[in-house]
A and B are shown apart, each in its own frame.
Chain A
Amino acid sequence: MSVSNPSARDGVTSQQRFAPVAQLGAAALVLVVIGGIYMASYAPRRPPLTVPILLAAASGALLAVNLVMLVRTRGLAWDKFFLVGRWALLSYVIAAGLIEFAFVRDHTRGGPLVVLTAMLVLFAVDVPLIISFTVARYQSLRSDAA
């Protein structure tokens, strides 16, 4: 396979700086996963909700900051971002729906179901965001033009 010579064109590519959207997204994902494990560890009992709510809130805050940073990003390949993002979103909405179905099927109700649903929403938005941003940042106009 032919690959362009990095040394001839990395003057721009290697110096590109984007906001740490993927890193923050991964941090938000870690919080959601910890919250999910915490809640699952109590099954089939009703879990205490303070810790999961705090984790979900922190994850949501990170995601909000991430979205703000993303909107202010310049030079991103937005066409690729939305192309990958919509398919990834569809995929992870299905995955989150499957998890939700399993918990509803197991009689999770009330507060725990609300917190769990919030975590799944964060999960279903966060992962596609990480994937689509990672693709788009390397497909950016600046790296192509180099």
Chain B
Amino acid sequence: MTDTKVDSLSTGGERGAGGEGGAGVEGGAGVGAGAGVGAGAGVGDSAGVGDVPPRPVIQIVPLKGLPIVAVILGFLVASIGFNWQWGLDFNHVAGGGLWTGIDLFVGLVVGPILGRLSIPARAEFSARFMPKMVLVMPTLVAMTLASGFQLALDLGNLKASNPNHAWLMASFVVVGIMAVIALGILEPANIAVLFEMRKPRPNGEVIARLMKRFIYTAGITGLMQVATLVIMTRVASQ
């Protein structure tokens, strides 16, 4: 473990020196399964060393958050293991509400605001915001899905004869689509952008190329989240 500090994903990034002329980049670094936020990368037309504020140190995985994640996952495992009704309800309702809420809020409210901020402000926000989402969103997704499946089994909603069966199958499809987008497209791009932003001179073209993924998938994930709200409220009211 001697090399951990050097090699760990949590190692702070280098502080950039000065700016140089070049094209600004706009785009969003996404969170979890959902929409993106404006990522920070870009340069002014004639920014010199003295004109560019120091870049924030980027910690890709905030280690301080890991114990909290461990406690939450322990609570989730205990809820499933002991079939603890309140624990399952709490994990599913709290996790699902936050997952959907954060996804839509970031995509519909925070993202457009960030897009109108100055590039340094956008960069500073993204450098602090995105690493936290690396921990927050997967934790919320795990809470929601694991407890949700267990609840559906316990309540008999998965039985073919149950009126909620079809809705839950639709929910599986929605979650499946979001999982593929989140795990196969957005999360890799999110981590890659963070690595690029840690470089002394981030490559704007690389960031822009990765950011396009968030733009392409934002509509789909937003639609899926609205579909989730419809499905879950239908299930709860039958």
| Interface-centre pick from B52, B201, B207, B210 (highest chain A CB count, 10 A) | B201
From B73, B159, B180, give the contact of A33 (CB < 8 A).
Answer: B180
**What A residues does B235 contact at CB under 8 A?**
none
From A2, A99, A105, give the contact of B52 (CB < 8 A).
Answer: A2
Interface size in chain B (residues, C-beta < 8 A):
63
- Cα A98 to Cα B191 in complex, Å, equals 23
Which stretch from B20-28, B92-100, B108-116, B224-232 is at the chain A interface? B20-28
Q: Mark out the residues of chain A between 77 and 136 whose CB falls within 8 Å of any chain B CB in the assembled complex.
A: 80, 83-84, 87, 91, 94-95, 98-99, 101-102, 105-106, 127, 130-131, 133-135
Contact with A along B22-46 (1 / 0, CB 8 A): 1111000000000000001111000
From A4, A26, A83, A98, give the contact of B146 (CB < 8 A).
Answer: A98
From A7, A94, A135, give the contact of B22 (CB < 8 A).
Answer: A7
A4 engages B172 (CB within 8 Å): no
A1 engages B123 (CB within 8 Å): yes
B184 engages A5 (CB within 8 Å): no
Contact with A along B157-183 (1 / 0, CB 8 A): 011100000000100110010011001
B9 engages A83 (CB within 8 Å): yes
B215 interfacial contact with A, CB 8 Å: no
CB distance from B15 to the nearest CB of A (A): 10
A14 engages B146 (CB within 8 Å): no
B40 engages A1 (CB within 8 Å): yes
A3 engages B81 (CB within 8 Å): no
B172 engages A40 (CB within 8 Å): yes
Which A residues lie at the B interface, using CB under 8 A?
1-10, 13-14, 22, 25-26, 29-30, 33-34, 36-37, 40-41, 43-45, 80, 83-84, 87, 91, 94-95, 98-99, 101-102, 105-106, 127, 130-131, 133-135, 138-139, 143
**What B residues does A99 contact at CB under 8 A?**
146
A3 engages B142 (CB within 8 Å): no
A6 engages B203 (CB within 8 Å): yes
A130 engages B159 (CB within 8 Å): no
Residues A4 and B9 in contact in the complex (CB < 8 Å), given A102-B150, A106-B153, A138-B195:
no
**What B residues does A95 contact at CB under 8 A?**
138, 142
Task: Find the B residue at minimum CB distance from A133.
Answer: B188
CB distance from A73 to the nearest CB of B (A): 16
Nearest first, the 8 closest Cβ-Cβ pairs linking A and B are A5-B22, A134-B188, A6-B205, A26-B184, A1-B123, A3-B204, A2-B19, A4-B201
In the complex, 15 of the A-B residue pairs with CB atoms within 8 angstroms, ordered by the A residue number, are A1-B40, A1-B119, A2-B17, A3-B202, A4-B203, A6-B203, A13-B205, A41-B172, A43-B149, A44-B159, A80-B195, A84-B191, A98-B73, A105-B80, A134-B189
